[in-house]
Amino acid sequence: MADSLCQLGRLFGQRQWCLGTSGNFSARLDDSQFLITQSGKDKSVLTPDDLMICDLNGIPRNSALRPSAETALHLALYRHDPGISAVLHTHSVCATLLSRTADSSVAFSGYEMQKAMTGVGSHEDTSVLPVFDNTQDMRALADQLHAYLVAETGTTCGFLVRGHGLYAWGRSLAEARRHLEGLEFLLSCRWQEKLAGML
Ligand SMILES: [Zn+2]
């Protein structure tokens, strides 16, 4: 699992979705612990030594290591749904720009790429990506995320943090990757449509 997570981190890093040590990635190991990137690691050259194990209370197995500052958001997802196996977070230019112009959500309809999201069977469906305001208080943001997930109908697989970036998750690392890539594609389309005056 560590190698797969590093491979994905390097790929996303090389796509410039995680410049300047931004972004973070995690994968569930079992019912009580998960692997997560350490704080301040360059994702474009990620190795297993840059990962660490935390339990579902956020306590590192090795107390000398410091997990990502946004571990609370990963924890909120793993605690909310035991079926979530991986959580991926990127800071792409398009996701960051679009999140600054959006209201409380971004809705997509008419894009074939929406079908990258599990549960979306047609481009005619409407896919909603919630947007939360950024804060340095990750616990408060985690509480907001939890409240949203409890209230929604169960099809959400990602969210934006305003002026910050994108989170996506899945029931496997492969599904989380598909969701993240699909959402990044849709956000890039939407931003370029705005620039072209199509919206
Ligand atoms: Zn971030």
What's the 1 CA to ligand 1 centre distance in angstroms?
Answer: 22
H/E stretch holding 106: strand 105-109
What's the 121 CA to ligand 1 centre distance in angstroms?
Answer: 30
Determine the pLDDT at residue 139. 92
Can you tell me the distance from the alpha carbon of 164 to that of 95, in angstroms, rounded to the nearest whole number? 8
Can you tell me the distance from the alpha carbon of 17 to that of 67, in angstroms, rounded to the nearest whole number? 20
Q: Is the pLDDT of residue 103 over 90?
A: yes
What's the 29 CA to ligand 1 centre distance in angstroms?
Answer: 22
What's the 142 CA to ligand 1 centre distance in angstroms?
Answer: 13
What's the 124 CA to ligand 1 centre distance in angstroms?
Answer: 31
Helix runs in 35-172, H state only: 71-80, 93-101, 138-151
146-163 residue pLDDT tens = 999 999 877 899 999 999
What's the 112 CA to ligand 1 centre distance in angstroms?
Answer: 28
Determine the pLDDT at residue 180. 98
The stretch 99-115 carries a mean pLDDT of 95
Can you tell me the distance from the alpha carbon of 166 to that of 93, in angstroms, rounded to the nearest whole number? 10
Can you tell me the distance from the alpha carbon of 12 to that of 184, in angstroms, rounded to the nearest whole number? 11
What's the 90 CA to ligand 1 centre distance in angstroms?
Answer: 7
56-87 residue pLDDT tens = 999 999 999 888 889 999 999 999 999 999 99
